[in-house]
């Protein structure tokens, strides 16, 4: 699988302040509030739980014992914690938390590469609304699939992936021919964004078929949120992008 490492920003006119602030906020929450992923109580308190969204009620469960996949040791982790805010707001708070350092860095890399161009074209206020709305619709996509399959309803969900998937969908529509530098094995290639993002979406779609087998988690990845966020970005991007005006002399 290829990894995007940069794109062509020669036509960017503004400093992507919102994109940088979003990256900074995600890192800040992960380090200082989530304890770099070790504070399960905080994380479980503010993560989105599909059953809570569907019922509108807070759910608290008993502690659980799981096997650490790296050490093979039994690890005791807390169950669902009391939510100190209205449960519907966890749709937003969960967008700024991550399950681990790799989860965080992967998301921030994609936001750094693709977010600035959308912010430049949309403007800061429109881009902020677009980002948040795509994140909300991505989360609701995950809730819908959880409800439909009756699976993963009590599993906490978190991450900026859904919102960033919306950014990718918007980028595909606005900049399909812009070249993206990708790392493929040991080579760096310049590939049109349309190809990169189509393959990314295809990967999410294929892996998301695991839902049909009853696995809502997809190996720990909420693919329904990625797919829903991407489609939301494709549909909404033109609504949030002002028309460019050209003046002729």
pLDDT, tens digit, 9 for 90 and up, residues 22-43: 999 999 999 999 999 889 889 9
What pLDDT score does 219 carry? 54
Residue 116 has pLDDT above 60, yes or no: yes
pLDDT for residue 6:
94
Lowest-confidence segment of 33-42, 94-103, 236-245 by average pLDDT:
236-245
Q: Is the pLDDT of residue 245 over 90?
A: no
- Residue 68's pLDDT band, with cuts at 50, 70 and 90, is low
**What percentage of the chain has pLDDT greater than the value 70?**
88
- Asked if the 3-35+90-240 domain carries CATH number 1.10.940.10, the reply is no
Q: Is the pLDDT of residue 71 over 50?
A: yes
Mean model confidence pLDDT for the chain:
90
The pLDDT of residue 217 is above 80: no
Q: Are 132 and 194 in contact (CB under 8 A)?
A: no
Q: What is the mean predicted confidence (pLDDT) over 114-128?
A: 97
DSSP string, the chain: --EEEEE--TT--S--HHHHHHHHHHHHIIIIISTTTT-HHHHHHHSB-HHHHHH-S------EEEE-TTT--EEEE--PPPPSS-GGGHHHHGGG--SSHHHHHHHHHHHHHHHHHHHHHH-HHHHHHHHHHHHHHHHHHHHHHHHHHT-STTS-B--SHHHHHHHHHHHHHH-TTSEEEEEETTEEEEEEHHHHHHHHHHHHHHHHGGGGGT-SSTTT--HHHHHHHHHHHHHHHHHHSPPPP----
Q: Domain segments of the chain: what residues?
A: 3-35+90-240
Greatest mean pLDDT among 79-93, 158-172, 183-197, 204-218 = 158-172
């Amino acid at each position: 699988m290829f990894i995007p490492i940069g794109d062509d920003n020669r036509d960017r006119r503004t400093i992507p302040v919102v994109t940088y602030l979003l990256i900074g906020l995600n890192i800040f929450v992960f380090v200082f509030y989530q304890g770099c992923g070790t504070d399960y109580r905080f994380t479980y308190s503010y993560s989105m739980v599909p059953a809570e969204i569907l019922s509108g009620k807070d759910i608290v469960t008993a502690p659980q014992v799981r096997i650490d996949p790296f050490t093979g040791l039994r690890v005791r982790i807390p169950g669902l914690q009391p939510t100190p805010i209205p449960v519907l707001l966890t749709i937003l708070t969960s967008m700024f938390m991550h399950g681990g350092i790799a989860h965080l860095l992967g998301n921030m890399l994609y936001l750094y590469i693709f977010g600035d161009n959308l912010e430049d074209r949309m403007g800061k206020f429109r881009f902020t609304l677009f980002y948040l709305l795509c994140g909300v619709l991505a989360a609701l996509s995950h809730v819908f699939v959880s409800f439909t399959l009756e699976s993963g309803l009590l599993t906490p969900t978190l991450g900026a992936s859904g919102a960033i998937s919306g950014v990718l969908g918007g980028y595909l529509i606005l900049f399909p021919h812009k070249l993206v530098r990708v790392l493929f094995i040991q080579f760096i290639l310049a590939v049109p964004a349309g190809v990169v993002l189509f393959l990314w979406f295809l990967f999410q779609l294929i892996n998301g078929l695991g839902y049909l087998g009853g696995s809502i988690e997809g190996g720990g990845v909420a693919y329904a949120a990625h797919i829903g966020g991407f489609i939301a970005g494709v549909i909404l991007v033109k609504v949030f992008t002002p028309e460019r005006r050209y003046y002729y002399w």
